[in-house]
Amino acid sequence: MPDKVTKKDIEFEREALQYTDAVYRMALRMTKNKADAEDLVQETFFKAYRFWDSFEKGSNCRAWLFKILTNLFITAYHKKSKEKQQFAYDDVDSHYLYNQFENTDYKQQLEDPEQMLFNQLLDDDVKKAIEELPEDFRMVVVLSFVEGFSYQEIADIVGIQLGTVKSRLHRGRKLLQKGLWQYAVKRGIVKEKT
């Protein structure tokens, strides 16, 4: 079969395929394993290609791809995940990590948190802490923290109200900080108060 490269192919390759890394990264965080992430990425670009005509040229292609990915994840993967969305987050304060340091013997680490804490956490610690968040919170945390989307863009991508974005992000942030503290303890960067 002769290869014919269409205008659509060229456009799609230029506009959409530049975001493969970002889409893959998001898929990994959401599915938490490579095999499912690869499926999800394939499906995302496949669907994007098929619906390329409905993409408004000149608008934000990265956000559009993330919207497709998020949709596919919610419809196809969410169902099979047994994850319970119930989570005890109310006992976590705002600025949890900072307060933990302030209230323990590690106050001096606040002088230079980058050197004393953050640089000592492994990439995998941070990724795992994110992956341990309940799905709904994880989604907005990744879109905001890692991908840098605005609250309004996140609302459009996930298909939720702006207020919901803010509250999920708020809770997600607290839980993430709690998770990171636990990894700091695990790494021996800090010792849990007994």
Residues that bind other proteins (CB under 8 A): 1, 3-4, 6, 8-9, 12-13, 17, 20-21, 23-25, 28-29, 35-36, 38-39, 41-43, 45-47, 49-50, 52-53, 72, 76, 94-95, 97-98, 110, 113-114, 118-119, 121-123, 125-127, 130, 142, 144-146, 148, 150-151, 169-170, 173, 176-177, 180
Angle at 136 between CA 133 and CA 142, to 5 degrees: 65
Using the minimum distance from each CB to other proteins, give the nearer residue, 111 or 194: 111
Least separation, in Å, of the C-beta of 190 and other proteins?
A: 14
Q: What whole-number distance in Å separates Cα of residue 111 and Cα of residue 153?
A: 35
Please identify, using beta-carbon distances, which residue of 8 and 187 lies nearer to other proteins: 8
Measured distance CA(94)–CA(169) in Å, rounded? 12
Handedness of CA 188, 117, 32, 174 (dihedral sign): positive
SS (H, E, C) 79-108: CCCCCCCCCCCCCCCCCHHHHHHHHCCCHH
Which lies closer to other proteins via its Cβ, residue 8 or residue 186?
8
Q: How far is CA 60 from the centre of its chain?
A: 18
Minimum CB distance to other proteins smaller for 23 or for 139:
23
What's the closest the beta carbon of residue 187 comes to other proteins, in angstroms?
A: 13
